[in-house]
């Protein structure tokens, strides 16, 4: 099946603020998006994965000033930190959008100019509060007070700025209250998981105010074509990076946006669900574009019960954990162990436990034993198994795998999909144990039986590696190579490739280094807190 024969599949990560290097939290959203993107590539879709950086707004301007750099210099200096981290973690994105790029300015100007011409914008003066850290406007009734009686942001608890008398452009968001509620009702899977959906619905039912989409008191942003003294509010800019990354109005990518929009999934943290489920669909409705299939608001990574953030928890960076667990061990832990959608406490103890039990003891050990025995009993070649070999306890588990795994992936249930694969790995270990090839090898009359057992165990390894590839791209590719098979990167038919018995007899089988050497917690000198 050629790449993309099932159609297009577009997925996005948040466009991260450039005020600090990527940390475990931002890596979490990015790896999740990459895991689903890799799966859908295996599944025959023509996948686009858009990520990028949010380089405008007061927060970035303030950080650049603190660093004594121009905003552009500061942003430029931060780009390698993000790109290097995504490369390190094997994130295979198709576009990396910086909101300071000329192509983003073109998108923003075109989109908002269209809404201006359609009559969805008006100018008025804004009275209210603004939190620079959250880049969000708040009504006084939304705020909290600190112990000194100062108003603070209800999200990050930092002091808010009073804005008074500033002339702003407003988007008529309030006009979309009923349309949005109707949309949520008719598309129950748009906001996921369900708990987030309920939060958004009650927020919208509480009443929507028109949204200020411009700032005139500072200039770090994209000027609007209809009023050059006003730059776009960061969110009126950043959300449109998804369009830019999919080729919107790009003369060099003609027709691509039309093929790739609407996105299948926006992967975001629960902190920014409202922007994606209220403002964004209203903008799209106003402009006449289809709404994305789903916004998935995942939970937060916590250490000692608190959210990891750029200010907290920066002591351990993704690269530090990769040194201990390898890229695949890192990716597997975050995707397997924290139920996507829920908050998850992370700890070194648990990371080592999951790594050792699933990757070292179950999967790595299986490959090592079976590949070793192939060397020993069959001269390092896939044995020719008799026809009766097809009847075995593993083939029936493998036959159900695609459906179970695919159902989980459609729900972004990475834990459920990984468990389904590990069930086959666990069953294969038992099968090898129960069949005792080392005993069969001693009896020449059992040669066919030995060939069946080794063939079936190798065949299970082929299938397990394929299904683990979205989580563990390096080791899975390695296993396929060691089995004398083609590049997993190019595979586009995971369902067809799940049929039992496709591993060709006679293929060379190479026994290499342990895929996942066992780890000893006591010897790891790294702490997450
Ligand atoms: O909000 N656990 O950018 P941002 C899990 N520029 N995920 C976490 C996390 C944690 N502890 N901390 C952060 C912005 N994240 C805007 C987005 S999109 C058009 C504009 C992840 O750099 C999570 O995905 O503050 C969260 O939504 C995102 O980082 C916030 O990134």
**DSSP calls for 48-75:** EEEEEEE--SHHHHHHHHHHTS-HHHHH
Tens digit of pLDDT for each residue in 123-149? Answer: 998 888 888 888 888 888 888 999 888
pLDDT for the residue 314: 54
Q: Is residue 404, in this structure, part of any structural domain at all? A: yes
For ligand 1, what atom is nearest to the CA of residue 18? 22
pLDDT for the residue 1: 58
pLDDT for the residue 141: 84
Q: Is residue 350, in this structure, part of any structural domain at all? A: yes
Q: Is the dihedral of CA 106, 108, 114, 119 positive or negative?
A: negative
CA of 410 to the centre of ligand 1 (A): 22
Q: Is residue 105, in this structure, part of any structural domain at all? A: no
Mutate which of 269, 308, 529 for ligand 1? The one with the most ligand atoms within 8 Å of its CB, which is 269
Count, residues in the chain: 529
pLDDT for the residue 58: 86
CA distance 272 to 400: 37
The DSSP annotation for 89-138 comes to TT---SEEEETTSHHHHHHHHHHHHHHHHTT-EEEEEEEEEEETTTTEEE
CA of 55 to the centre of ligand 1 (A): 14
Which residues have C-beta atoms less than 6 Å from ligand 1? 14-17, 25-26, 28-29, 54, 238-239, 241, 268-269, 271-272, 300-301, 307-309
CA of 404 to the centre of ligand 1 (A): 30
The DSSP annotation for 379-409 comes to TTBPPPPPGGGG-SHHHHHHHHHHHHHHHHH
CA of 42 to the centre of ligand 1 (A): 28
pLDDT for the residue 464: 98
Going by CA atoms, what residue is nearest to atom 9 of ligand 1? Answer: 25
Q: Is residue 333, in this structure, part of any structural domain at all? A: no
For ligand 1, what atom is nearest to the CA of residue 302? 11
Q: Output DSSP code: residue 159.
A: B
Q: Contact at 8 Å (CB) between 92 and 38?
A: yes
Going by CA atoms, what residue is nearest to atom 13 of ligand 1? Answer: 25
pLDDT for the residue 315: 66
Q: Is residue 410, in this structure, part of any structural domain at all? A: yes
Does a cis peptide bond (omega within 30 degrees of 0) precede residue 262?
A: yes
For ligand 1, what atom is nearest to the CA of residue 307? 11
Q: Is residue 334, in this structure, part of any structural domain at all? A: no
CA nearest to 197, candidates 273, 110, 139 = 273
Long-range contacts of 412-417 (CB under 8 A, 24+ apart): 412/32, 412/36, 412/192, 412/265, 412/267, 412/296, 412/340, 412/341, 413/339, 413/340, 414/32, 414/35, 414/335, 414/336, 414/340, 414/471, 415/335, 415/336, 415/337, 415/338, 415/339, 415/340, 417/39, 417/467
Residues 6+ apart with CB under 8 A from 426: 362
CA of 199 to the centre of ligand 1 (A): 18
- Please name every residue paired with 381 in a beta bridge, in sequence order, or none if there are none: 508
Scan for tokens 């006591």, then name that residue: 522
Q: Is 470 exposed, middle or buried (0-12, 13-18, 19+ CB in 10 A)?
A: buried
CA distance 25 to 20: 12
* CATH number for position 464: 1.10.730.10
- Please name every residue paired with 46 in a beta bridge, in sequence order, or none if there are none: 8
CA of 260 to the centre of ligand 1 (A): 24
Q: Is residue 403, in this structure, part of any structural domain at all? A: yes
pLDDT for the residue 3: 64
Assign residue 249 a region (left: φ > 0; alpha: ψ between -120 and 50; beta: otherwise).
Answer: left
Residues 6+ apart with CB under 8 A from 90: 34, 327, 331, 473, 474
Cα–Cα distance list, 439 to 2, 77, 502 (Å): 44, 62, 27
CA of 12 to the centre of ligand 1 (A): 12
Going by CA atoms, what residue is nearest to atom 8 of ligand 1? Answer: 25
Provide the domain count of the chain: 1
CA distance 230 to 215: 5
Going by CA atoms, what residue is nearest to atom 19 of ligand 1? Answer: 239
Q: Is the dihedral of CA 7, 256, 85, 274 positive or negative?
A: negative
Residues 6+ apart with CB under 8 A from 365: 429
Enumerate the H helices of 342-492 as residue ranges.
Answer: 348-354, 365-378, 393-410, 414-435, 437-440, 447-468, 473-482
Residues 6+ apart with CB under 8 A from 206: none
In this prediction the pTM is 0.96
Q: Which domain holds residue 449?
A: 346-498
At 291 the three-state DSSP class reads: coil
CA of 388 to the centre of ligand 1 (A): 53
pLDDT for the residue 2: 62
Mutate which of 26, 273, 414 for ligand 1? The one with the most ligand atoms within 8 Å of its CB, which is 26
CA distance 423 to 428: 9
Average pLDDT per consecutive 10 residues, the chain (529 residues; last block may be shorter): 81 94 95 98 97 93 92 96 98 98 98 98 90 86 88 89 88 98 98 95 95 89 95 96 97 96 98 97 98 98 79 75 97 97 93 98 98 97 89 94 98 98 98 97 96 97 98 98 95 96 97 96 86
Q: Helices 414-435 & 393-410, crossing angle to 10 degrees? A: 170
First CA to last CA across the chain, in angstroms? 47
Tens digit of pLDDT for each residue in 244-265? Answer: 999 999 999 999 999 999 999 9
pLDDT for the residue 304: 76
Mutate which of 18, 21, 23, 28 for ligand 1? The one with the most ligand atoms within 8 Å of its CB, which is 28
pLDDT for the residue 510: 96
CA of 8 to the centre of ligand 1 (A): 26
């Amino acid at each position: 099946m050629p790449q993309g024969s099932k159609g297009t599949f577009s997925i996005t990560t948040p466009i991260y603020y450039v005020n600090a290097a990527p940390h475990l939290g931002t890596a979490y959203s990015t790896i999740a998006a990459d895991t689903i993107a890799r799966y859908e590539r295996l599944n025959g879709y023509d996948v686009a994965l858009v990520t990028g950086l949010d380089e405008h707004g007061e927060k970035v301007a303030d950080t650049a000033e603190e660093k004594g750099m121009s905003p552009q210099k500061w942003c430029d200096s931060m780009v390698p930190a993000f790109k290097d981290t995504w490369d390190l973690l094997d994130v295979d994105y198709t576009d990396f959008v910086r909101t300071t790029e000329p192509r983003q300015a073109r998108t923003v100007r075109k989109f908002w100019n269209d809404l201006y011409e359609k009559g969805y914008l008006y100018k008025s003066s804004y009275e209210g509060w603004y939190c620079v850290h959250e880049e969000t406007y708040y009504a006084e009734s939304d705020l909290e007070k600190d112990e000194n009686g100062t108003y603070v942001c209800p999200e990050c608890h930092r002091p808010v700025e009073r804005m008074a008398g500033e002339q702003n452009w407003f988007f008529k968001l309030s006009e979309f209250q009923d349309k949005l509620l109707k949309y949520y009702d008719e598309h129950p899977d748009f906001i996921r998981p369900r708990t987030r959906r309920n939060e958004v619905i009650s927020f919208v039912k509480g009443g929507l105010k028109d949204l200020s989409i411009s700032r005139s008191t500072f200039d770090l942003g994209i000027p609007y074509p209809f009023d050059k003294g006003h730059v776009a509010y960061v969110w009126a800019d950043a959300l449109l990076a998804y369009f830019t990354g999919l080729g919107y109005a790009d003369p060099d990518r003609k027709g691509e946006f039309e093929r790739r929009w609407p996105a299948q999934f926006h992967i975001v943290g629960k902190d920014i669900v409202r922007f994606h489920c209220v403002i964004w669909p209203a903008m799209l409705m106003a402009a006449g574009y289809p709404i994305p299939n789903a916004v998935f608001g995942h939970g937060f990574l916590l250490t000692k019960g608190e959210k990891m953030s750029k200010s907290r928890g920066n002591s351990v960076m993704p690269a530090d954990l990769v040194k201990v667990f390898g890229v695949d061990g890192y990716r597997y832990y975050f995707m397997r162990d924290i139920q996507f959608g829920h908050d998850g406490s992370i700890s070194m103890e648990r990371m080592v436990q999951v790594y050792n039990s699933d990757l070292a003891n179950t999967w790595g050990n299986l490959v090592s034993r079976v590949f070793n025995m192939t060397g020993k009993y069959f001269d390092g070649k896939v044995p020719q198994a008799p026809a009766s070999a097809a009847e075995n306890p593993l083939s029936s588990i493998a036959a159900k795998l695609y459906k179970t795994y695919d159902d989980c992936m459609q729900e972004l249930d990475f834990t459920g999909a990984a468990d389904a694969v590990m069930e086959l790995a666990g069953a294969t270990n038992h099968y090898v144990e129960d069949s005792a090839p080392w005993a069969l090898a001693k009896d020449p009359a059992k040669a066919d039986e030995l060939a069946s057992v080794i063939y079936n165990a190798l065949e299970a390894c082929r299938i397990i590696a394929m299904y683990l590839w979205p989580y563990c791209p390096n080791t899975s590719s390695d296993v396929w190579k060691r089995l004398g098979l083609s590049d997993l990167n190019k595979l586009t038919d995971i369902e067809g490739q799940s049929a039992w018995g496709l591993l060709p007899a006679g293929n060379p089988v190479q026994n290499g280094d342990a895929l996942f050497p066992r780890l000893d917690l006591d010897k790891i000198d790294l702490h997450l807190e």
